[in-house]
Amino acid sequence: MTRHLPWMLAAALALAALPLLLGANAIDKLTTLFIYMLLAATWGLLAGQAGLVSVGQQAFFGLGAYFALRLVDGGWSAYPALFAGAVGAAVVAWGLSFFVLRLKDGEFAIATWVVAEVIRIGVMLDPLVQGETGTSLIALNAVEPELRRNLGFWMALGSLVLMLLVTAWLLRSAVGTATRAIGEDDEAAASLGVRVTPTRRRVYVLASFGAALAGVAWLASAITFLPRTNFGVQWSVLMLFMALVGGLRSQWGPLLGALLLFVLQESLGHLGAWYLAGLGVVAAVFALWLPRGLAGVWDDWRARRALAVTPLSPSVPSLPRSSTP
């Protein structure tokens, strides 16, 4: 990570300058791409590294935005409230972890989805949200549209860079080693002295914080808050697709999956149901024949290329056997 850090920061600075060069439509699309990448990276950390297949991360995507709305209604400024809302969602994730992390495999997946639905219904009962009608972060309307668009872009980009750096640091630490061991076999890891639940709790809270950052970045761009959209299970479906296609066990693979999803949406999204069917076919192809995703394909290509260009070692001539007189 240390070796690549200057290049990562240089790329982030270059991307941060794009609002000065590109039009409104391009900035909106790039903001969406960064949000997708953020969701993919955090879900990949949760499922690919820690072995926690959650179908309820949309709870934190929506909860961060809801907390921001509540804070603004209580007198906070909009942008500080957005970040504080994400932190609040992470605190909720920490509390929930004492319940959901007691479960394993399918039970964990179902429990996370049920918890997400309970949270969505609870939020809909708040008069501020107005049920299915939803509400808007009206305070953002006071910001000039171009500046608001650029701030949303920088928020999504900054959140993505922050989570990538934290994730890279985590995976190279002792916690990351423990996380990978747990992802391979939690019982074997526990027998070797790994503290399974505390390690998973750190990963679960970090991934939930990333999902909440994506949710508040989405709210900053869309302004409107609709419970069925912000808490929709489609977010977890997209996370699964991006991580599976990109490479579930790779740190960078889910980013490739997010890029592929974005390209498919832009080129085939107008086909409606056929587009959704196409996503299903792509996911099935990768699950059956390319289980390591795009990252695995790239690694295999590099390995074959390295093998092809590596010169053969010269043979060592054998020494003549000494003859006995």
Phi-psi region of 131 (alpha: psi -120 to 50; beta: other; left: phi over 0): left
Distance CA 178, CA 186 (A): 10
Q: In this predicted structure, what is the pLDDT of residue 277?
A: 86
Mean pLDDT (whole number) for 246-273: 90
Do 45 and 27 lie in a common domain? Answer: yes
Residue-number span of the structural domain to which 56 is assigned = 5-232
Q: In this predicted structure, what is the pLDDT of residue 317?
A: 52
Residue 325 has pLDDT above 60, yes or no: no
Looking at 202, 232, 262, the residue that finishes a domain is 232
Distance CA 21, CA 122 (A): 43
Distance CA 12, CA 9 (A): 5
Establish if 250 belongs to a structural domain.
yes
Do 163 and 147 lie in a common domain? Answer: yes
Structure tokens at 132: 């299915």
3-state DSSP call for residue 39?
A: helix
Task: Output the CA angle 272-276-282, nearest 5 degrees.
Answer: 140
Do 165 and 273 lie in a common domain? Answer: no
Structure tokens at 315: 């043979």
Residue 70's CB: how many other CB atoms inside 10 A?
18
Establish if 318 belongs to a structural domain.
no
Establish if 325 belongs to a structural domain.
no
Q: Which residues contact 215 (CB under 8 A, 6 or more apart)?
A: 60, 61, 62, 63, 64, 65, 86, 89, 230
Worst-scoring range by mean pLDDT, 1-5, 50-54, 103-107, 116-120?
1-5
- Per residue in 6-55, pLDDT (tens digit) is 787 888 899 999 999 999 999 999 999 999 999 999 999 999 999 999 99
Reported confidence tier of residue 251, pLDDT bands at 50, 70, 90: confident
How does the average pLDDT of the chain come out, rounded? 90
**Residues forming a β-bridge with 304:** none
Looking at 193, 209, 232, the residue that finishes a domain is 232
Q: In this predicted structure, what is the pLDDT of residue 170?
A: 92
Structure tokens at 172: 């190279």
Establish if 259 belongs to a structural domain.
yes
Worst-scoring range by mean pLDDT, 134-138, 291-295, 315-319?
315-319
Do 203 and 242 lie in a common domain? Answer: no
Q: In this predicted structure, what is the pLDDT of residue 2?
A: 52
Q: Where are the alpha helices (DSSP H) in the chain?
A: 5-16, 24-43, 58-73, 78-100, 105-124, 145-171, 174-184, 186-191, 196-222, 227-230, 234-246, 253-268, 273-289, 293-309
The pairs formed by 297-306 with CB atoms below 8 angstroms and a separation of 24 or more are 298/256
Establish if 313 belongs to a structural domain.
no
Domain count, the chain: 2
Do 174 and 296 lie in a common domain? Answer: no
- Per residue in 152-172, pLDDT (tens digit) is 999 999 999 999 999 999 988
Do 258 and 213 lie in a common domain? Answer: no
- Per residue in 55-77, pLDDT (tens digit) is 999 999 999 999 999 999 999 99
Residue 129 C-alpha from the chain's centroid: 26
Do 216 and 268 lie in a common domain? Answer: no
**Global pTM?**
0.91
Distance CA 20, CA 299 (A): 36
Distance CA 84, CA 71 (A): 8
- Per residue in 211-228, pLDDT (tens digit) is 999 999 999 999 999 999
Residue 180 has pLDDT above 70, yes or no: yes
Worst-scoring range by mean pLDDT, 106-110, 184-188, 231-235, 258-262?
184-188
Most confident among 19-23, 303-307, 317-321 (mean pLDDT) = 19-23
Establish if 322 belongs to a structural domain.
no
Asked whether 258 and 248 are in contact (CB, 8 A), the reply is no
Worst-scoring range by mean pLDDT, 69-73, 115-119, 171-175?
171-175
Do 51 and 129 lie in a common domain? Answer: yes
Establish if 240 belongs to a structural domain.
yes
Residue 305 has pLDDT above 90, yes or no: no
Asked whether 295 and 289 are in contact (CB, 8 A), the reply is no
% of the chain at pLDDT higher than 70:
94
Distance CA 210, CA 38 (A): 7
Establish if 56 belongs to a structural domain.
yes
Reported confidence tier of residue 118, pLDDT bands at 50, 70, 90: very high
64 closest CA partner among 40, 41, 33, 35: 35
Reported confidence tier of residue 287, pLDDT bands at 50, 70, 90: confident
Q: In this predicted structure, what is the pLDDT of residue 309?
A: 73
Do 221 and 237 lie in a common domain? Answer: no
- Per residue in 134-155, pLDDT (tens digit) is 999 999 988 999 999 999 999 9
Q: Angle, nearest 10°, between helix axes 234-246 and 293-309? A: 10
